Amino acid sequence: GAGVSQSPSNKVTEKGKDVELRCDPISGHTALYWYRQSLGQGLEFLIYFQGNSAPDKSGLPSDRFSAERTGGSVSTLTIQRTQQEDSAVYLCASSLDRGQSNEQFFGPGTRLTVL
Amino acid sequence: GENVEQHPSTLSVQEGDSAVIKCTYSDSASNYFPWYKQELGKGPQLIIDIRSNVGEKKDQRIAVTLNKTAKHFSLHITETQPEDSAVYFCAASISIKAAGNKLTFGGGTRVLVKP
């Protein structure tokens, strides 16, 4: 079946502009995660959604970052007033988070470049 | 919070040889340890995972070992093939039902298998 999809695949923006990144999780997956991967680095947790529970925002680096998940499915990560240090690949993952099933399935990511 | 260190950062092996990647973690409460493989331009893909109640797990040419006392775990790839060339990430989390599975990733190991 279809995996996690993300759009756009690439985004180039100017410093100070706002950007929106979209994630479509695997159908039926209740958990959705956003991670950031800076060049040559490991992945850094940003935010987690589970069903109708309040999201875990503990990884968001500043108040310029926000995310929402509408209808328990699609999620949008918004970065306001982008800075050059926001340049990275933003990865979305979804999982069932049921019983012993913890596997997170990742999308291909959105490469964000802030000029 | 959790901190995961991964070594080496790069690993070059001859086809057919074994590759070993090691990770250490800091939080003794961590109980879930997945390994991900990331190919160029793609999101990470789970290749094997282990839970803290198990010391070793194998899947064909891949094995993972966990030493809870020393807080380290390792990935072993035997009979390496050119298609094993990729970046490998270890991760750790405290997996609690209904509380999410925030992964803390190591910095990654770039593996090159030379034919």
Q: How far is A112 from chain B (nearest CA, A)?
A: 13
The pLDDT of B56-68, averaged and rounded, is: 95
| A21 residue type, one letter | L
Q: What is the pLDDT of residues B72-96, one digit of tens each?
A: 999 999 999 999 999 999 999 987 6
User: Which chain A residues are within 8 Å of B91, Cβ to Cβ?
Assistant: 43
Q: What is the pLDDT of residues B3-30, one digit of tens each?
A: 999 999 999 999 999 999 999 999 999 9
What is the Rg, in whole angstroms, of the alpha carbon atoms belonging to chain A?
14
Number of C-beta neighbours around residue B63 at 10 A:
18
The two tokens of residue A114 are 């802030």
Whether residue B109 lies within 8 A of chain A, CB to CB, comes out as no
The 3-state DSSP class for residue A86 equals: helix
DSSP bridge pairs for A49: A32
% chain B with pLDDT above 70: 96
Number of C-beta neighbours around residue B39 at 10 A:
12
Whether residue A107 lies within 8 A of chain B, CB to CB, comes out as yes
Exposure of A108 by Cβ count < 10 A (0-12 exposed, 13-18 middle, 19+ buried)?
A: middle
Q: How far is B79 from chain A (nearest CA, A)?
A: 26
DSSP bridge pairs for A106: A93
Task: Compute the mean pLDDT over every residue in chain B, rounded to the nearest whole number.
Answer: 93
Exposure of A35 by Cβ count < 10 A (0-12 exposed, 13-18 middle, 19+ buried)?
A: buried
Q: What is the pLDDT of residues A3-46, one digit of tens each?
A: 999 999 999 999 999 999 999 999 989 899 999 999 877 899 99
